[in-house]
């Protein structure tokens, strides 16, 4: 059964802190295995990638078949059901419209000392998108990663995706076609991350890798960060729903299960001020589980990592929310504004009774690649900014250097960097060439 906590209980703080520190990725540590995979890919390139594809994915590949041809991708996309293609088009349109509004502006100004300052935004040259496979297909992740990259102006967008039996899933292919991704490789896991980061003969290296994955993928991203940019270290999915008793318990139960069904380590949490409502939600969860295709996964996640937190008033919820820093936060109340304003740490907030988190997974607009495992305390969801770099601009003329240079030289001397001071003073003590 999920844990039940009451804020008024004298032992709440102790139990809650234990709950926060519970490790949800219970699989054995894979970092050593991943390190070996990375070393192998670095030394043997495509040969190692092909060997890993056979070992971990059951795929028999060659250097020539690592990449999915554009014709093969078109055939796979054409096989997607018309209803799915239509839904993907709706999602793509909304995602692009949202991310277009995120494009940052360059800045130029001159300060009171006459120094010209500013910054310029430029897109990353090449990006790798990791799209999960295995137990499910994720065409939505293709759109949620590729469209922000395309909107930012990334020139080369590469996708790796595990393929069941070597065949690209039609919905994934259709999403890639909509997003304009044509360079696709049929590999997944840590070996795909290593190939993208280090480069092989068949898979040229990228500058940044984004997208969620399993424990192996996450470990590979962690170990390769620095050689390549990464978006975030993602963990199992999570949702926190704040709900009052005026909700339909069946709705809230479905919302909690919408993330619990991702995998056995996912987490679903309910905060409510009504014990009878909490009981009704738990009964509704049991009812839904009897009909869901991924009931075993969802049931295990709810049993092992779920929680119901009872508070005297929902006004007490924001401090609890901030300590949890959930990936997804639903505020299923009549007036969610005040609660939302009081929350500082959440990956995405869904406001009101008619805004289930699932709308954000597919069609709302913001990327569904969000910070997990309490990292919303210091990081944000994927956006256009993740695919761009900001370069500072500084310009002094003789007059403005005379205004600010002595302070810079004094600081250089204080730090013991004589060449720094010299490069300033040699200009300050010499009229130098005239400026045209």
| Mean pLDDT, residues 166-184 taken together | 95
pLDDT band, very low/low/confident/very high, at 214 (cuts 50, 70, 90): confident
Spot the catalytic one: 99, 191, 288, 328: 328
Is 13 marked active-site? no
Task: Please give the full DSSP string across 277-303, using - where no structure is assigned.
Answer: HHHHHHHHHHHHHTT-TTHHHHHHHHH
**Least confident window among 207-211, 286-290, 402-406, 427-431:** 427-431
431 pLDDT band (50/70/90 cuts)? low
Q: What average pLDDT does the structure give for the chain?
A: 94
Which range (20-24, 201-205, 264-268) has the least confidence? 20-24
Q: How far apart are CA 192 and CA 159, in angstroms?
A: 10
420 is catalytic: no
Q: Are 269 and 258 contacting, i.e. CB atoms less than 8 angstroms apart?
A: no
Assess contact for 132 and 162: CB atoms under 8 A: yes
The HSE-up count of residue 238 (CA atoms within 13 Å, CB side) is 30
Q: What is the pLDDT of residues 60-80, one digit of tens each?
A: 999 999 999 999 999 999 999
- How many Å apart are CA 348 and CA 30, to the nearest integer? 29
Contact criterion met (CB below 8 Å) for 110 and 399? no
pLDDT band at residue 26 under the 50/70/90 scheme = very low
Nearest 10 degrees: Cα torsion 68, 72, 76, 82? 130
Cβ atoms 117, 393 nearer than 8 A? yes
What integer pLDDT is reported at residue 23 of this predicted model?
A: 73
Q: Which one is catalytic: 177, 238, 282, 327?
A: 327
Per-residue pLDDT of 264-300, as tens digits, reads 989 999 999 999 999 999 999 999 999 999 999 999 9
Is 27's pLDDT higher than 90? no
Of 76 and 263, more confident: 76
CA atoms within 13 A on the CB side of 92: 22
Q: Which domains does the chain have, with CATH numbers?
A: 3-25+235-364 (3.40.50.1980), 31-100+124-233 (3.40.50.1980), 396-428 (no CATH)
């Amino acid at each position: 059964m999920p844990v039940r906590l009451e804020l008024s209980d004298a032992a709440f703080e102790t139990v809650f802190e234990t709950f926060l520190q519970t490790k949800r990725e219970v699989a054995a540590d894979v970092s050593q295995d991943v390190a070996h995979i990375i070393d192998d890919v670095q030394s043997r390139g495509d040969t190692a990638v092909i060997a890993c594809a056979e070992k971990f994915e059951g795929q028999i590949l060659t250097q020539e078949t690592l990449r999915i041809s554009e014709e093969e991708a078109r055939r796979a996309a054409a096989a997607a059901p018309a209803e799915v293609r239509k839904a993907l088009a709706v999602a793509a349109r909304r995602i692009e419209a949202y991310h277009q509004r995120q494009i940052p502006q360059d800045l130029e100004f001159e300060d009171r000392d006459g120094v010209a300052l500013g910054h310029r935004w430029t897109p990353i040259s090449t990006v790798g998108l990791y799209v999960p496979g295995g137990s499910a297909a994720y065409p939505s992740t293709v759109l949620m990663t590729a469209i922000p990259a395309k909107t930012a102006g990334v020139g080369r967008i590469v996708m790796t995706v595990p393929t069941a039996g070597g065949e690209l899933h039609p919905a994934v292919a259709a999403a890639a076609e909509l997003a304009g991704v044509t360079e696709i490789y049929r590999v997944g896991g840590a070996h795909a991350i290593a190939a993208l980061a280090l480069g092989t003969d068949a898979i040229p290296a990228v500058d940044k890798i984004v997208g969620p994955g399993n424990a192996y993928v996450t470990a590979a991203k962690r170990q390769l960060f620095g050689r390549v940019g990464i978006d975030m270290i993602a963990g199992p999915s999570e949702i926190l729903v704040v709900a009052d008793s005026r909700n339909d318990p069946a709705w809230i139960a479905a919302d909690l299960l919408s993330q619990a069904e991702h995998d056995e380590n996912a987490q679903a949490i309910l905060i409510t001020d009504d014990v009878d409502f909490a009981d009704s939600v738990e009964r509704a969860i049991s009812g839904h589980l009897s009909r869901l295709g991924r009931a075993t996964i969802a049931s295990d996640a709810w049993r092992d990592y779920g929680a119901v937190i009872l508070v005297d008033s929902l006004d007490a919820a924001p401090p609890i929310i901030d300590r949890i820093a959930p990936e997804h936060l639903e505020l299923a109340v009549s007036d969610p504004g005040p609660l939302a304003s009081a929350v500082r740490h959440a990956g995405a907030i869904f406001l009101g009774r008619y805004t289930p988190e699932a709308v954000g997974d597919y069609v709302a607009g913001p990327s569904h690649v969000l910070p997990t495992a309490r990292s919303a305390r210091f990081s944000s969801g994927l956006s256009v900014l993740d695919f761009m770099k900001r370069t500072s601009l500084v310009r002094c003329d003789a007059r403005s250097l005379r205004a600010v240079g002595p302070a810079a030289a004094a600081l250089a001397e204080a730090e013991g960097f004589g060449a720094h001071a010299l490069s300033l003073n040699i200009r300050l003590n010499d009229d130098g060439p005239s400026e045209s």
